[in-house]
Amino acid sequence: MKNLAVFILIFASFSFSASAQSAKAQFEQGVALYEEENFAAAAAAFAKAAEKGYVDAQFNLGLMTLKGEGVEQDYPEAMRLFRLAAEQGSVKAQTNLARMYAKAKGVAPNYGQAVFWFRKAADAGYDDAQYSLGVLYASGIGVPRDLRKAWELFNAASEQNNLSAHYQLGLMYFKGKGVAENKVEGLKFLTLAGDFEESALYLKYAQGKSSAEEIAEANKMVAEWRADHPAKP
């Protein structure tokens, strides 16, 4: 009887391992098909892996369902898939689930749930969630307005070179909101934010309100920041 129990345990472990390997192969097949822009086949492959609990497949299929790529656009189903992946600890799924609650896609707006899931991903160090939670604190949506907390979250995301967080920090420093006004710091972060439309426009405005010395100092700080934060491979 003991030998039978050991056999059952080994067999169950082997079956689980084989299933996991199968799910990984189906997920990788889905990735390859997606890169070929064969979206319907990619979605089908992700669905097979998702049914086996493969977290990345659940997230990818959720994203495709949210966008209507290869499958019919279905917000409630996208939320279901994001939740499955979020409950397994996927920070990307947690962040997307939070955004759907915040934007009322597939569900009534629920900022409490949005904050809950953003915070989970932010606490795990995910920069997009840190930025998004910072926006809620800056605007007082779902949480009491707290510019200092917003600054902390934007700063954490900025350390990971999140461009939107750079932009928000630039505004805060240049306008003196939540932190002491500091034009040089403001210019530094606005420059780091890159050239997406809002950032480029405000940087041009900020430079017009700054001296040549302040701009030069900010540019020096940008170079130093980039040296200390090499681009991720």
Read off the pLDDT of residues 110-155 as tens digits, 9 standing for 90 and up: 999 999 999 999 999 999 999 999 999 999 999 999 999 999 999 9
pLDDT at 223 over 50: yes
Sign of CA dihedral 66, 71, 76, 77: negative
pLDDT at 10 over 70: no
What does 9-46 look like in DSSP terms, one character per residue? HHHHHHHHHHHHHHHHHHHHHHHHHHHTT-HHHHHHHH
19 vs 28, residue with greater confidence: 28
**Structure token digits, residue 133:** 């939670």
169 vs 6, residue with greater confidence: 169
Residue 216: CB atoms within 10 Å: 13
- Local structure of residue 180 (DSSP, 8 states): -
How many percent of the chain have pLDDT more than 70? Answer: 91
25-60 tens-digit pLDDT: 999 999 999 999 999 999 999 999 999 999 999 999
Q: How confident is the model at residue 77 (pLDDT cuts 50, 70, 90)?
A: very high
Residue burial 148-180, b: 16+ Cβ < 10 Å; e: rest:
ebbbebbbbbbeebbbbbbbbbbbbbbeeebbe
Pairwise CA distance, residues 101 & 95, whole Å:
10
Number of H helices, E strands in the chain: 12, 0
**Cβ(106)–Cβ(73) below 8 Å:** no
The predicted model scores a pTM of 0.87
